[in-house]
Structure 1
Amino acid sequence: MTEIRRIGPGPRMSEAVVHNGIVYLAGQIAKGASVTEQTRGVLAEVDRLLAEAGTSKARILTTQIWLVDIGTFGEMNAVWDEWVDRANPPARWTGEAKLATPEYLVEIIVTAAV
């Protein structure tokens, strides 16, 4: 049986789960007054969790991005474009959705190879 490793487990969910050479991150959110600030905070958390799992953004396979207002797509993309590994961009999709609380403007979910 293949080992399952949980990173940051809590009563409801883990921050990430590593299984069979893949790391699955829970949806990451961050505090901030704008989509720019929140996107930067989220991507810093993604970097931290990927490092803890033993991998990096160069090995991201897929990314889901949820925005409260799809009109902020360009603002989020400006931060993303500074951050993403241009030699290894993941498959990515972006949608508009209500998030858990009104102060969250962006949530990012990542799956990566370890």
Structure 2
Amino acid sequence: MSIQRFHIGPRMSQVVVHNDTVYLAGQVADQPTPDVENQTRQILAQIDSLLAEAGTDKTKLLSATIYLVDIATFGAMNKAWDSWVAAGNTPARATVEAALAAPEYLVEIQVIAAK
């Protein structure tokens, strides 16, 4: 059984690779702004970078879970998501309204991808 971990912290790893599956921790914006679309774009860029580090990319996404502080911002988040996601390779996805770890975070995205 092969397990690799990247960006290991005291509570979690940002990336875990088990065999040919890549699991990303929930990602939030590095520079939180009061704009869900902008935060989503930042997060998606982070996801691109972490997936590349693990040897894969967004065309191999299997699933995504998106957490929004306010479900009324669903359209703004989708605007960023739709321009990023690989056409024909969209993952299974769930979007839920949830309180996040800090008030400046408006969106958090967690993905699983194949290698």
TM over 0.5: yes
Aligned to 2:12: 13
Question: 1:32 Cα shift?
Answer: 2.2
Instruction: Tell me which stretches of 4 or more aligned residues in structure 1 moved more than 4 Å.
Output: none
- Residues paired across the two proteins, number: 113
Aligned to 2:92: 91
Question: 1:33 Cα shift?
Answer: 2.4
Deviations 1:29-64 (CA, angstroms, capped at 9, x unpaired)? 002221011000100010000000000000000000
C-alpha RMSD of the superposition: 0.6
Question: 1:72 Cα shift?
Answer: 0.1
2:94 matches 1:108: no
What TM-score, normalized to structure 1?
0.97
> Which stretch of the first structure deviates more once superposed, 70-79 or 30-39?
30-39
Q: Counterpart of 1:95 in structure 2: which amino acid?
A: V
Q: Counterpart of 1:57 in structure 2: which amino acid?
A: K
Q: Secondary structure at the match of 1:49?
A: helix
Gaps of 5+ in 1: none
Aligned to 2:74: 73
Distance of 1:3 and 1:110 partners within structure 2 = 20
What TM-score, normalized to structure 2?
0.96
Question: Equivalent pairs: percent with the same residue?
Answer: 59
Distance of 2:6 and 2:36 partners within structure 1 = 26
